Amino acid sequence: GDSVTQMEGPVTLSEEAFLTINCTYTATGYPSLFWYVQYPGEGLQLLLKATKADDKGSNKGFEATYRKETTSFHLEKGSVQVSDSAVYFCALSDINDYKLSFGAGTTVTVRA
């Protein structure tokens, strides 16, 4: 079945550092790929998405490119802020599957 593997955490960074979280997937079809973020005490929020190969999703300075050849969707941000401290989840969904398959989540802490 479909599955997502993402980089183990936790990750601790200093402000303005470069962040990358690796995500690879296994899917039988042509899935859509997502990054969701969960801030402390809150539900998940969609950060960005990509629906086909070579698409780049971007939001709030975060970017991820759908790489079909490497089955990857790595999340990057060039300069993190303390407010980026959260848990980040990579996820995929096959069309008409009506569900998301999530990675284990990566906890990111940014220190001032």
Partner 1 sequence: KAGVTQTPRYLIKTRGQQVTLSCSPISGHRSVSWYQQTPGQGLQFLFEYFSETQRNKGNFPGRFSGRQFSNSRSEMNVSTLELGDSALYLCASSLPQGTTNEKLFFGSGTQLSVL
Q: Which of 26, 45, 81, 83 binds partner 1 (CB under 8 A)?
A: 45
Q: What is the C-alpha separation between 85 and 38, in angstroms, rounded?
A: 9
40 near partner 1, judged by CB under 8 A:
no
CB crowding 70-91: b at 16 or more within 10 Å, else e: ebbbbbebeebeeebbbbbbbb
103 near partner 1, judged by CB under 8 A:
yes
Looking at the chain, how many residues does it have?
Answer: 112
Nearer to partner 1, 99 or 111 (CB): 99
57 near partner 1, judged by CB under 8 A:
no
Interface residues toward partner 1, by CB under 8 A: 32, 36, 41-46, 49, 51, 89, 93-105
